[in-house]
Each structure stands twice: as structure tokens, then as C-alpha cells.
A = this chain, B = another copy of it.
Amino acid sequence: MSGRANRVWTGGSAILARVGDPRPVGVFDSGVGGLTVLHELRRQLPGERLLYLADLEWFPYGPRPLRDVRHRALDIITHFAELDTKLVVIACNSATAAALNTARERFDIPIVGVIAPGAQAAVEATGNGRIAVISTEATLHSGEYVHAIKEANPGCAVLGRAAPELVSIVEAGDADTIRADGALAPLLDELFAWGADTLVLGCTHYPLLLPSLLRLIGGRSMAVVDSAATTAARVQRIVAVNRLQRDGEDVPPQLAVTAAPRRFLDSARRIFGEELAAPEVVRIGDCGLLAVAP
């Protein structure tokens, strides 16, 4: 199978030439959470051009109705299509839950979400088949983690819990504090009482809570999984199977936001300890893309 810009000339059955596909991969989230996925993509697909869009104008997606998030995500994918991306990663659980299936019906571009990879990681990690998922309300209400985990192994049992306050805690820079411990402790006790041996971090913000989680789990046994690494591995496989590799030298990702470029840089620095280049500010809407001066 070949991608649109990935020409393969054949003479008889011998491939005479094959060129790489230079088009970029588009990645988006409502904020900085998807940077966990961007990091893994850079690590596992070093030769690819990556565009990252943080939709801070609409942040956070989690408490919004699924229909609104779906509409917004389709607008963003339209934006990426206009930029001639060869693949789009929805690096946000809420947007994946709301929009992945509809987007795959509407766009020819390969689109990858973070829920099925997270489900796969959980099914591989569990010993007793009891998997807990913490997420935003939008993701919980979609049921998509239950569907994806049971597709990977229908013998597993799933307990979903919404923990919307955790996004605010992470965004405030309180991920490794007594405030985080206070929100997580009763939640973890409930998951252990139910018998979970595996916990899926069903929101791209939650990996920042790992120090607090590990402290609270203490001597108890719980596998904690997120979807950043497995999503990047899936993208890597899809790029390879569909012969979409770029085969070029490493280039830094291009960053964009829909609002608040300063807040994006501050959050990225506070949360990831990373100094990023100033993002471009773009406008997303029903009329397509309007680029605004950075």
C-alpha cells in the first residue's frame, strides 16, 4: 500500500525507485497534555516532520459536551488536511472519544487516537483482567475505553471513573503535591477495593501525576499505563505499513496554538521543564483556517 505522495515505480516486479513522503504528521490536543505523545513520537519517529497544535482557545475539552468536542476536532483535522499532513494524531483522550470514528468516516488521511493504544497497553499489563480507567467526563461518558479494552480482550472487566479536577491540578503545577495526593488517595482506594491490578491514565495530563500515584500505591500492586508510548508505536507501524516514511534528517516540531501562546510556553516549561520555540497562533473555525501573526 502506498500513500498519496509516496510514489513507487515498478518495472515488472522489481521496484526501481522509492522516495520518502516528506509531508508532516499533525498532532493536536486542547493544551500541553499532548506533549507527552509528541515526545514519544519524536523518540520513535525521529525522521518525521511534526506539527503540534494546542487548542487553548477551547481548553479544556473534558467538561464539554461530546458533540461540541467532535465538531471542534473535525475543524482541526480540516486545518491539518489543508496543511497537507499525511497522518493526524488526536493526542487527547476526550477528542479521541468524541471524534475519532466520525473523523475516519469523513477524511481519507489516516487518523490515530490514543484510546485503543492505551487499551492495548492495559490488556498486556493486567494479570487478573480487572482494569480501572481514570479520565475526563467526556471520555467516561463515551464508553470508548470499555469498547476498546473489550475489543483487545473481551474477558477483561473495566471500571471507569471521571476525575476532572486532576487536569486543573496538573495545569496549576500541583501534580506532585499534597493537593494531588488528596484527590488521588480516595480514588485509588476505590479502585483497589474493586480489585483492579491495572490503572489506565485516560487523559494526556495524568502522566505528570505519576510521582504522586506511585507514592500512594506504596506497597500495593498496580500497573500504571498511559498511551503515549503505545500510540507512538502504533503511528510508527502505520507509517511503515503504508510506506509513508520521510527518510530525512531530524527537524524540530513546529508548534501552534489557537490562543494564549505565552500560557502555552509557561505551562510547557512548568510541567515539562522544557523551553520551546514561540508557537504560531492560528485560527480554527467553520470557514477553515485563518493564520494570524504569531
Contacts and interface: CB of A to CB of B under 8 A. Distances in A.
Contacts of A1: 126-129, 153, 155-156
Given A1-B126, A128-B1, A129-B242, A101 B154 contact: no
Contacts of A244: 155
Interface in A70-102: 87, 101
A241 B110 contact: no
A18 interface: no
Interface in A97-111: 101, 104-105, 108, 110-111
A150 B104 contact: yes
A284 interface: no
A126 B242 CA distance: 12
A128 B155 CA distance: 34
B146 A105 contact: yes
Interface string A114-134: 001000000000111100000
Given A101-B146, A105-B146, A111-B154, 6 more contacts: A1-B126, A1-B153, A101-B147, A104-B150, A112-B154, A153-B242
14 contacts: A1-B127, A1-B155, A2-B128, A2-B129, A105-B143, A105-B147, A108-B157, A111-B150, A116-B151, A129-B242, A153-B238, A153-B242, A154-B238, A155-B238
